[in-house]
Amino acid sequence: MSELAVQDGAETTEAPVRRRRAPRALVALIGASLLLAFAWAFISPPFQAPDENAHFGYTQTLAETGSLPGKETKPAFSTEQVQAGSASNSDQAAAQRSVKMTWDQQAYDRWLTDDEKLGTKGREDGGGLNPASSNPPLYYVFEALPYLATKGSDLFTRLLAMRLVSALWLAVTILGAWLLAGEVFHRDRLLQLTTASLVGLAPMMSFVSSAVTPDSMLFAAWSLALWLGVRILRRGVTAPSALALFALTGVAIVIKASSYALLPPALFVVVVGLVRRGGWQPAVLARVGAAVAAGLAATVGVWFVLAAALSRPAAAQVSAASSTSGGADPREFVSYVWQFYLPRLPFMDDFRSVAHTIPVYDIWFKGVWGSFGWTEVLFRNRIYLLLLLVTVAVVVLAAIELWKTRAGSDWAIGAFLALAAVALLGGLHWSEYNLLTGGASNFNQGRYLLPLAGIAGLVLAFAVRRLSPARRSIAVGVVLGGLMVLQLASLSLVLTRFYA
């Protein structure tokens, strides 16, 4: 009688154990999003994503030699990668709209023959300075796994395997957005689906996540950190939750230096959490403070120690951006930021920009909605104008909903999310300002805002919540359909650019 227990002559049935299952909508969304990301991985030509050649070169050096790139005496890329780029014409096609890739079978066969003659030496002779060589190694350690798993294949097969593994981080990003919306909207499944759909189905999220770039892992870290921050504000701060939040923040920093922007909002969460629980007792402060320090020490601290041991700069991107100019002029910086978002006033110096109109439109807006290849693959302007109208309508509806429900809203959650967005924007603008005043070219791209995709998804969900309950399901259906149409249009745009 394995399922029955006999006590005092009576038979009682054991209570079945309830297992929590993942919501079907979340599973379906992750599945659809990964299929689209895999399609992008196959369709995007080799090295036709920003700095993908540098990220591949970093991974190849790490996987083949066990060392990090950045040696001044070595070439930036291995002989194998240089020859592959030349044979496929990928280097020449990057950012050049009129230049096509080489899709000739005979050219591929000749390259394959030459590549086999190179052997392992042709893969190990890179490791010099390239745009990614100063990055921390966390993402590249993960990417070395698919590289090594397909080491017996040619370079393009290894690149594809790395892309497919990189795309898996999109599932984690979607999960983070789903959980974030669950905390904000009290597990309203429809609004969770709305938030996560924008994160998982927006074409730029699919395109970037399916390339060999640490951004794919970065999106996941930010998505989870934003969720955990909101969770702590709603449920209270404890030493374990503070440890988890700052460990995630540290992981994001070790992925990419722009994540230092997560430190101010993370500190805000802990301070507000302590105030709300009245936790100013020395013992509580000691436990939470130790948890914060431990989270950073186990991530950022480990990287700083490793970098020192390897005689590498631990925060090269931050120091380079800050030291490019001779000195910061606050008025000049304000002038630069003004011109990024608004037309230049007559008394302001003109900052150089790649933008054809106002940079916020050409760089941020277009770059978030659709800027493929090396940012040169764009829709016609009327498509962006239509997207702008839709975006403005969504923001207005969300603003009305937030205002109407302000009495029952938690101000700290809004402040935390706003601080995360402002900190990231501020860091990006500060970096670009220093680069411009130091004589360098523009730095910012729309994809740098994609770590905030979860917040954008919340804005869309607030707009949907503004509608009557009967219309919300219809609106979410329109959102899903619209994102799928935009996905197909984006894939068609890339196909036309590189294959037509």
User: Which of these, 121, 142, 155, 131, lies nearest to 62 by C-alpha position?
Assistant: 142
Tens of pLDDT, residues 310-326: 888 877 666 555 555 55
Structural domain range at position 460: 22-48+171-500
- The answer to whether residue 77 is domain-embedded is no
Q: In angstroms, what CA-CA distances link 327 with 347, 353, 428, 437, 464?
A: 21, 20, 17, 9, 46
- The Cα 63–Cα 242 span in angstroms is 34
Q: Is 495 among the domain residues? A: yes
Model-wide pTM > 0.95: no
* Nearest by Cα to 433 from 305, 342, 323: 323
Q: Strand pairing partners for 116?
A: none
Q: Give the whole-angstrom CA distance, residue 70 versus residue 29.
A: 40
Tokens of 111: 């390259």
- Number of domains the chain is built from: 1
User: Looking at the domain assignment, is residue 459 inside a domain?
Assistant: yes
Which residues does the chain have with pLDDT short of 50? 1-15
60 located within any domain: no
pLDDT value at residue 319: 59
User: What does each C-alpha distance from 92 to 46, 98, 154, 388, 491 come to in angstroms?
Assistant: 12, 10, 21, 33, 21
Classify residue 478: in a domain, yes or no: yes
Please report how the helices 330-341 and 411-437 are oriented relative to each other, as an axis angle in degrees rounded to 10.
110
Residue 293 lies in a domain: yes
Contacts of 255 (CB under 8 A, 6+ apart): 136, 138, 139, 214, 217, 218, 221
What pLDDT is stored for residue 106 in this prediction?
A: 92
pLDDT in tens, 190-221: 999 999 999 999 999 999 999 999 999 999 99
How distant, in Å, are the alpha carbons of 144, 157, 215 from that of 150?
A: 10, 7, 23
Residue 24 CB-density burial (10 A; 0-12 exposed, 13-18 middle, 19+ buried): exposed
Distance CA 397, CA 388 (A): 14
Is residue 123, in this structure, part of any structural domain at all? no
User: Does any domain span residue 155?
Assistant: no
SS3 sequence of the chain = CCCEEEECCEEEECCCCCCCCCCHHHHHHHHHHHHHHHHHHHHCCCCCCCCHHHHHHHHHHHHHHCCCCCCCCCCCCCHHHHHHHHHHCHHHHCCCCCCCCCCCHHHHHHHHHHHHHHCCHHHHCCCCCCCCCCCCCHHHHHHHHHHHHCCCCCHHHHHHHHHHHHHCHHHHHHHHHHHHHHHHCCCCHHHHHHHHHHHHHCHHHHHHHCCCCCHHHHHHHHHHHHHHHHHHHHHCCCHHHHHHHHHHHHHHHHHCHHHHHHHHHHHHHHHHHHHHCCCCCHHHHHHHHHHHHHHHHHHHHHHHHHHHHCCCCCCHHHHHHHHCCCCCCHHHHHHHHHHHHCCCCCCCCCCCCCCCCCHHHHHHHHHHHCCECCCCECCCHHHHHHHHHHHHHHHHHHHHHHHHCHHHCCHHHHHHHHHHHHHHHHHHHHHHHHHHHCCCCCCCCHHHHHHHHHHHHHHHHHHHHCCCHHHHHHHHHHHHHHHHHHHHHHHHHHHHHHHC
